[in-house]
C-alpha cells in the first residue's frame, strides 16, 4: 500500500494490481487493499479519495470519468484470460479516457503466469510464441499512454533470466522487456521466520530450531500417495509405515494444547487457535484419501482418550512428542528467545481430551477456489481458524499468497524428479511472520531428499539476495545473473526460461557427506589405517597452531577423501541412495575453493579423533553436525578466511540401538567423516557435475 500511496502522491492516477490466477487470492488482495485504504474510503468525514475495484465487478458498468479525475483508483485483476480481456476492453473501448491516465501496474507474483512461452519445431526451424496471459499483459501495457510496470515476487529467478530489450516472436509480434531495469530488496520483517531458522540455526544442536525438522521415511510418505484401506482400521494404525504421520498428528495436537495453556496463563479468557498444513500431492483424489486417513487416526485418538487406554502406537507417539516439545521449549528459554514454561504432561493430555470432547478439531480439505473463498476471514483475508486445532489438507491453492496464522505443523510431500525452485519455495507456507512461542513447538515434516532440496534452494536464494544487496552498496550493476541448480533443482519451469545444470558454491559453506552408512571393520580397517598414516605423516602435522589447525597439501586431501568414499555404504536398505554424490560435491567444491585461493596447493586441516556422533538423531533425521555443534563450526569458520578448511573427524562408529530397536549409530567400526568449509573470501560460483 505504501508503494501505491507514494506513487499516487507523485502523479499516478490508477494502480492496476495483477494477482495470481486464484479466485481466493484475488479476493484476499481486494480485501487487503480495502483495509489498507480504509482511511480514504467513504464514511470517514471526507470525500472518497481512493476507490478499490475488482475488474470483473466493473467490466459492464465501467468507471465514471469525473470520479476518476478527482480521486485515485485501484483495480484488482486476476491473471486469467477473461479478467485480462475485461481489463483491456475497459481501457481500450468502454472508458477510453483511462488509457491517457498515468497508470502503475503492480504485478504481484510476477514470475507466475506473466512470463510463459511455447517452443515448437526443430533447432533450425524453431517457432517461439508467448502464451495467452503473457500476450494479454503486454497488450495492456501497450495501450497505455503512460505506465510504469512494477514486478513483485519472492522468487525472481525467471524474471532475472529474461532476455534484455524487446523479444521478437516468430509470428512477427514483439513483447516489451520483462527483465527488471533495477532491483529493490524488501526489508525483512522483524518477526520473519525463514531459511535462516530452518536451515542455518537448526544446525546448532543447542538451539530450539534444531527441533524444527522431523524426518519422514520414503515409505512413510508413500502411504499418503496411494489409498490402502487396511490402514484405516485400529490394527492398521499399528503399521510402522504410518508412524511418521501419526507422530506429526500427535505432535501437532500436543503443540496446540501447549500453546493454549501458555496463552491462558497470560489471559484466562484466551482461546488460542492453531493450524496445520498437509501439502503432499496436487491430485484431488489423493486429498480425499489423505483426509480420510488423517481423520481415522484422529478419530482413533479420540476414542482412546475417551477410554483413557492408549494403544502402543499412541503411547509411543505421545511420549516422543512430549520429550522433544519439552526439550525445544527449554532450549528456547536457555537461548533467551522465549520465557514460557512447558506445561505438565497431565495438563497437556487434559487439554487434548477437552478438544476432543468439544469437537474442537477440524480437518478441512482445501483444494478448490470455492472451498477456500468460504474459509477466508472477511477482515484479514486469511484462512479462518474456526476450531482450536485446524488441519488443512490441499495442494496448489495453499501456496502463493495465501497466509495461515499460527501454523505449528507443516507436512510436505511434493516429491518430483526435478524440483522447480520458484514453485517449491512458494509452497513454503511455514515461512513468514511467526511468534517465537509458536516456533518453539513448530515442526516441519518431510523426507530427507525434500528437506535437502529446500535447504539447497534457500542457500541459492540467499546468495542471490546477498549479491544484489552488495552490488547496490557498491553502486554497481548486478551484472550477469547466475541462478544455480543441479540435476534435481531448476530455478523455474522450462516454459519460463532455460538454464544449465549447475551446482552452487558460496563463502563459508559447509560441504559434507550425510546419510551414508560406515562399512564393516573387516572391510575398511586397512583403509582407515592408511588415512591415519597420511594425516599424521603430513609434513606440517606437528606444526599445529594453538587451535589445532595445520597446513596440508591439496593432493594429500584429495587422496584421503577418495579413500574415505571407499569406506561408505549406500543402499536402498539404508535409504541413502540420494546421497551418493556427496563426496563428489565435496571434491568439486575443494577444487574450486583452492583455484581462487592465494595458495592453490594447500589448505588448513583440523584432525579430530575419538568422536561418538550418531548417524541418526533421535527423531530419525540424518545427522549433519559431526563437528558437535555451533562452537566447533564457528571455530572452523573463523579459520577459513583466505583458504578453505578440511575437518577430518575420526568417529568411533559404535552401534547405538534405541528403545524402538532402531540403530541410530554405525557398524562398530572406526571411520572418517570429512567436512569442508569454504573460505570467507571467495566469489560465489556454480559448477556442473558430470560422469567424470
- Whether 396 and 540 map to the same domain: the answer is no
**399 in a structural domain:** yes
Q: In percent, how much of the chain has pLDDT > 90?
A: 53
- How much helix, strand and coil, in percent to the nearest 5, is found in the chain? 45, 20, 40
Q: Which of these three, 175, 207, 231, is where a domain ends?
A: 175
- Whether 433 and 513 map to the same domain: the answer is no
- Whether 244 and 161 map to the same domain: the answer is no
**492 in a structural domain:** no
Residue 198 pLDDT more than 50? Answer: yes
- Whether 556 and 623 map to the same domain: the answer is yes
N- to C-terminal Cα separation, the chain: 53
| pLDDT score recorded for residue 234 | 87
Mean pLDDT (the chain) is: 86
Q: Which residues contact 257 (CB under 8 A, 6 or more apart)?
A: 343, 348, 349, 351, 352, 355
**416 in a structural domain:** yes
Q: Which of these three, 393, 426, 455, is where a domain ends?
A: 455
Cell numbers 506429526 correspond to: 248
Q: Which residues contact 678 (CB under 8 A, 6 or more apart)?
A: 505, 506, 507, 508, 509, 511, 589, 593, 640, 644
What are the cell numbers at 371? 472451498
Residue 229 pLDDT more than 80? Answer: yes
**462 in a structural domain:** no
Provide the strand spans (E) within 267-372.
274-279, 361-366
- Whether 376 and 418 map to the same domain: the answer is yes
- Whether 508 and 377 map to the same domain: the answer is no
What are the cell numbers at 572? 536402498
Contact by Cβ (8 Å): 103, 14: yes
* Cα–Cα distance measured from residue 601 to residue 98, given in angstroms and rounded to the nearest whole number: 67
Q: What is the dihedral of CA 41, 42, 46, 51, to 10 degrees?
A: 40
- Whether 127 and 209 map to the same domain: the answer is no
Domain of 23: which CATH number? 3.40.50
* Cα–Cα distance measured from residue 528 to residue 526, given in angstroms and rounded to the nearest whole number: 5
| pLDDT score recorded for residue 416 | 81
> 115-156, pLDDT tens digit by residue?
777 766 654 566 777 778 888 988 899 899 998 999 988 888
> 212-227, pLDDT tens digit by residue?
999 999 999 999 998 9
- Whether 217 and 284 map to the same domain: the answer is yes
User: 183 or 105: which carries more pLDDT confidence?
Assistant: 105
Confidence of residue 5 (pLDDT cuts 50, 70, 90): low
- Whether 362 and 277 map to the same domain: the answer is yes
The domain total for the chain is: 3
| pLDDT score recorded for residue 18 | 93
| pLDDT score recorded for residue 312 | 93
- Whether 136 and 199 map to the same domain: the answer is no
Across the beta sheet with 102-108, the strand order is 50-54, 72-78, 14-19, 102-108, 146-152
Please state which of the ranges 13-27, 106-120, 349-363 shows the lowest mean pLDDT. 106-120
| pLDDT score recorded for residue 691 | 36
Which residues are 675's β-sheet partners? 647
* Cα–Cα distance measured from residue 574 to residue 667, given in angstroms and rounded to the nearest whole number: 12
| pLDDT score recorded for residue 3 | 56
Residue 485 pLDDT more than 60? Answer: no
Residue 640 pLDDT more than 50? Answer: yes
Q: Which of these three, 424, 455, 486, is where a domain ends?
A: 455
Burial class (CB in 10 A: 0-12, 13-18, 19+), 663: middle
Q: Give the pLDDT mean for 424-447.
A: 91
Q: Which domain holds residue 593?
A: 502-687
**329 in a structural domain:** yes
- Whether 261 and 366 map to the same domain: the answer is yes
**480 in a structural domain:** no
User: 2 or 289: which carries more pLDDT confidence?
Assistant: 289
Please state which of the ranges 179-183, 363-367, 495-499, 505-509 shows the lowest mean pLDDT. 495-499
| pLDDT score recorded for residue 499 | 29
**38 in a structural domain:** yes
Checking phi first, is residue 99 left (phi over 0); if not, alpha (psi -120 to 50) or beta?
A: alpha
| pLDDT score recorded for residue 474 | 67
Phi and psi at 608, nearest 5°, equal -120, 135
Cell numbers 577430518 correspond to: 648
* Cα–Cα distance measured from residue 275 to residue 390, given in angstroms and rounded to the nearest whole number: 5
**305 in a structural domain:** yes
- Whether 198 and 149 map to the same domain: the answer is no
Residue 48 pLDDT more than 70? Answer: no
Phi and psi at 221, nearest 5°, equal -85, -35
> 618-629, pLDDT tens digit by residue?
888 899 989 888
Contact by Cβ (8 Å): 117, 71: no
- What is the value of pTM for the model shown? 0.71
| pLDDT score recorded for residue 190 | 84
Q: How far is CA 118 from CA 130, 178, 349, 488, 497, in A?
A: 6, 16, 56, 23, 10
> 578-624, pLDDT tens digit by residue?
888 889 889 988 988 888 888 989 999 999 999 999 999 888 889 99
Highest mean pLDDT of the ranges 274-288, 445-459, 642-656: 642-656
Confidence of residue 278 (pLDDT cuts 50, 70, 90): very high
| pLDDT score recorded for residue 579 | 87
Please state which of the ranges 82-86, 189-193, 568-572, 642-646 shows the lowest mean pLDDT. 189-193
Residue 484 pLDDT more than 50? Answer: no
Amino acid at each position: 500500500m505504501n508503494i501505491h500511496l507514494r506513487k499516487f502522491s507523485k502523479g499516478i492516477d490508477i494502480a492496476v494490481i495483477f494477482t495470481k490466477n486464484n479466485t481466493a487470492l484475488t479476493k484476499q488482495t481486494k480485501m487487503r487493499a480495502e483495509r489498507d485504504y480504509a482511511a480514504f474510503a467513504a464514511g470517514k468525514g471526507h470525500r472518497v479519495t481512493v476507490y478499490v475495484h475488482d475488474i470483473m465487478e466493473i467490466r459492464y458498468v465501467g468507471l465514471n470519468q469525473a470520479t476518476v479525475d478527482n480521486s485515485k483508483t485501484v483495480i484488482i485483476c486476476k491473471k486469467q484470460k477473461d479478467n485480462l480481456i475485461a481489463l483491456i476492453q475497459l481501457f481500450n473501448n468502454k472508458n477510453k479516457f483511462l488509457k491517457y491516465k498515468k497508470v502503475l501496474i503492480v504485478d504481484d507474483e510476477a514470475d507466475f503466469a506473466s512470463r510463459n512461452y511455447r517452443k515448437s519445431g526443430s533447432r533450425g526451424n524453431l517457432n517461439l510464441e508467448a502464451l495467452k496471459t503473457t500476450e494479454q499483459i503486454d497488450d495492456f501495457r501497450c495501450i497505455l499512454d503512460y505506465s510504469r510496470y512494477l514486478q513483485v515476487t519472492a522468487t525472481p529467478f525467471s524474471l532475472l533470466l529474461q532476455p534484455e530489450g524487446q523479444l521478437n516472436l516468430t509470428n512477427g509480434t514483439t513483447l516489451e522487456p520483462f527483465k527488471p531495469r533495477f532491483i529493490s530488496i524488501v526489508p525483512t520483517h522483524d518477526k520473519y521466520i525463514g531459511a535462516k531458522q530452518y536451515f542455518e540455526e537448526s544446525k546448532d544442536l543447542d538451539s530450539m530450531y534444531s527441533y524444527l525438522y522431523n524426518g519422514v521415511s520414503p515409505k512413510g510418505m508413500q502411504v499418503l500417495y496411494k489409498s490402502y484401506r487396511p490402514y484405516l482400521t485400529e490394527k492398521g494404525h499399528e503399521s510402522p509405515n504410518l508412524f511418521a504421520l501419526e507422530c506429526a498428528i500427535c505432535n501437532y495436537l500436543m503443540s496446540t494444547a501447549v500453546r493454549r495453556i501458555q496463552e491462558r496463563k497470560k489471559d484466562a479468557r484466551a482461546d488460542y487457535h492453531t493450524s496445520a498444513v498437509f501439502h503432499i500431492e496436487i491430485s484431488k483424489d489423493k486429498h480425499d484419501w489423505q483426509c480420510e486417513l488423517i481423520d481415522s487416526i484422529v478419530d482413533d485418538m479420540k476414542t482412546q482418550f475417551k477410554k483413557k487406554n492408549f494403544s502402543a502406537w499412541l503411547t509411543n507417539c505421545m511420549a516422543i512428542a512430549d520429550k522433544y516439545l519439552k526439550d525445544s521449549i527449554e532450549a528456547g528459554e536457555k537461548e533467551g528467545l522465549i520465557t514460557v514454561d512447558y506445561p505438565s504432561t497431565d495438563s497437556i493430555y487434559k487439554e487434548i481430551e477437552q478438544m476432543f470432547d468439544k469437537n474442537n478439531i477440524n480437518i478441512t480439505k482445501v483444494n478448490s477456489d470455492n472451498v477456500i473463498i468460504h474459509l477466508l476471514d472477511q477482515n484479514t483475508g486469511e484462512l479462518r481458524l474456526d476450531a482450536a486445532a485446524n488441519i488443512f489438507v490441499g495442494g496448489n491453492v495453499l501456496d502463493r499468497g495465501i497466509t495461515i496464522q499460527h501454523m505449528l505443523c507443516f507436512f510436505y510431500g511434493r516429491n518430483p524428479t526435478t524440483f522447480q525452485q520458484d514453485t517449491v519455495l512458494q509452497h513454503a507456507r511455514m515461512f513468514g511472520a511467526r511468534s517465537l512461542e509458536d516456533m518453539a513447538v513448530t515442526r516441519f515434516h518431510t523426507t530427507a531428499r525434500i528437506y535437502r532440496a529446500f535447504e539447497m534452494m534457500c542457500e541459492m536464494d540467499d546468495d542471490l539476495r546477498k549479491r544484489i544487496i552488495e552490488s547496490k552498496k557498491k553502486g554497481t550493476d548486478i551484472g550477469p545473473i547466475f541462478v544455480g541448480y543441479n540435476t534435481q533443482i531448476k530455478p523455474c519451469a522450462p516454459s519460463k526460461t532455460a538454464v544449465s545444470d549447475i551446482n552452487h558454491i558460496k563463502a563459508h559453506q559447509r560441504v559434507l557427506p550425510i546419510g551414508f552408512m560406515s562399512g564393516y571393520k573387516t572391510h575398511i580397517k586397512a583403509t582407515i589405517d592408511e588415512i591415519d598414516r597420511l594425516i599424521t605423516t603430513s609434513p606440517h602435522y606437528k606444526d599445529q597452531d594453538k587451535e589445532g589447525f595445520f597446513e596440508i597439501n591439496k593432493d594429500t586431501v584429495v587422496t584421503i577423501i577418495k579413500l574415505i568414499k571407499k569406506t561408505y555404504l549406500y543402499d536402498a536398505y539404508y535409504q541413502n541412495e540420494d546421497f551418493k554424490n556427496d563426496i563428489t560435491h565435496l571434491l568439486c567444491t575443494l577444487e574450486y575453493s583452492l583455484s581462487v585461493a592465494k595458495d592453490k596447493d594447500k589448505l588448513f586441516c583440523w584432525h579430530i579423533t575419538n568422536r561418538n556422533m550418531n548417524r541418526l538423531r533421535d527423531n530419525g533425521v540424518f545427522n549433519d553436525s559431526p563437528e558437535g555443534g555451533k562452537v566447533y563450526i564457528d571455530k572452523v569458520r573463523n579459520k577459513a578466511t583466505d583458504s578453505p578448511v578440511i575437518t577430518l573427524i575420526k568417529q568411533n562408529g559404535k552401534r547405538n540401538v534405541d528403545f524402538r530397536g532402531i540403530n541410530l549409530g554405525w557398524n562398530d567400526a572406526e571411520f572418517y567423516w570429512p567436512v569442508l568449509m569454504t573460505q570467507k573470501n571467495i566469489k560465489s560460483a556454480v559448477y556442473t557435475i558430470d560422469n567424470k
